[in-house]
Structure 1
């Protein structure tokens, strides 16, 4: 009976974690370039007891272990905005931005220029080019960004937006502000990534799928809670009957 309670609690902890992941996905349905995450769980079989006095062989107890979350790298829908500073990333590449904590990576291409003429993200982080931040003069016109990330105006080329890929993108960690961090060194994207100017990649979260997952989690959590409650009642009844016999 005690094992059954432990199994139920481990299931509830896993379901709570999945609920947090779903809630975060739903909160970012409208976030440019956001990539959804999915929970990953693993079965853990408790080793059998070693006592030889049992009349029947001991049965393994199966628990649930939270194995983290997987990043859904599917391409989000591309929406035309007409803004020459907006770029949508196609392929497996990420844009590089400079933050106070060093280089970070994003798929959000909603760029703008700050008061100094530096190309920045909507959060004010400088966009990294092959040679560092990209500067555009206040009087320059005819801004265009090519498929390879080259930024140019009527006065010439001003830099090229840096695109990178990772050998294991699943190791990327969310760091807030729609940014990812990585302990591994990125590689130049090459043909693995291109950009489309005047457009933005929208979130790849599918609201209908997430709502279905949410209902399944709530239903399962309620069911597990009912089992735990009944087991608790059963234990209470057993204790009272044993007391009566004594």
Structure 2
């Protein structure tokens, strides 16, 4: 009977972890460039716990989280500093924690003239941070990521830099570091994203499917309550057995 409690508890722990992942997805349903997560679990065979027949007891163990790297829908904004990636790839940004990678192309220009993310981190180009002149106007971003602007009264375009768009051989190795930014594990380096095109005036929305996640949350809650009910029944049986043994005359 003790095994029943341990198995049920292991499943409840796994469901609790899955609920955290689903809740985080729902919280980021409107986060630009956010990639939904999914839970991974595996069977764990105990080396000590065994059934009455001598078989090893199987538990549920949290293995990790996987990232849904499918592209989110495109939203037209008309803002010349909003960009999206059509294809596989990530923008490169410089944070206080090191270089990070994101699909969130909601950029702006800070007081120093640098192109930065909504968090204020510089967006990196092929030559480092991309900087504009105070009197730049008519900013345009070509499909290959080249950023141009017209300075003052000039009618000629001046190049300000080229967005660094990279990709990874195995994006599932990336670790989340913020709402829509990723960091690679040690020893993993990015490569230039082949075939990726930049779309100016659009943003990639979160790829979270709100209805699916809400349905999953309800399913997890029901499973958790069913296990709790089963464990309560087992506890009641144990208590009744103890009470009957206590009532047996010496």
TM tier relative to shorter chain? over 0.9
Residue 27 (structure 2) aligns with: 27
Displacement, 1:146?
1.0
Residue 239 (structure 2) aligns with: 236
Query: Whole-Å Cα distance in 2 between the matches of residues 172 and 147 of structure 1?
Result: 26
Residue 172 (structure 1) aligns with: 174
Query: Whole-Å Cα distance in 2 between the matches of residues 49 and 115 of structure 1?
Result: 64
Q: Which moved more, 1:19-28 or 1:173-182?
A: 173-182
Displacement, 1:229?
0.7
Query: Whole-Å Cα distance in 1 between the matches of residues 88 and 54 of structure 2?
Result: 49
- TM value normalised by structure 1: 0.93
- Alignment partner for residue 189 of structure 1, among 181, 189, 193? 193
Q: 3-state DSSP class of the match of 1:211?
A: helix
Query: Whole-Å Cα distance in 2 between the matches of residues 48 and 153 of structure 1?
Result: 69
CA RMSD of aligned residues (A): 1.6
Q: Which moved more, 1:153-162 or 1:115-124?
A: 153-162
Displacement, 1:61?
2.1
Residue 217 (structure 1) aligns with: 220
Query: Whole-Å Cα distance in 2 between the matches of residues 18 and 205 of structure 1?
Result: 15
The answer as to 2:40 corresponding to 1:37 is no
Displacement, 1:167?
1.4
The answer as to 2:10 corresponding to 1:14 is no
The correspondence of residues 1-246 of structure 1 with structure 2, limited to 5 A, is 1-47=1-47, 57-154=53-150, 155-183=157-185, 184-191=188-195, 193-245=196-248, 246=250
Q: Which has the higher strand share?
A: 2
Structure 1 residue runs of 5 or longer lacking an equivalent are none
Length, aligned pairs only: 241
CA contact under 8 A between 1:117 and 1:138: conserved in structure 2? yes
Q: 3-state DSSP class of the match of 1:214?
A: helix
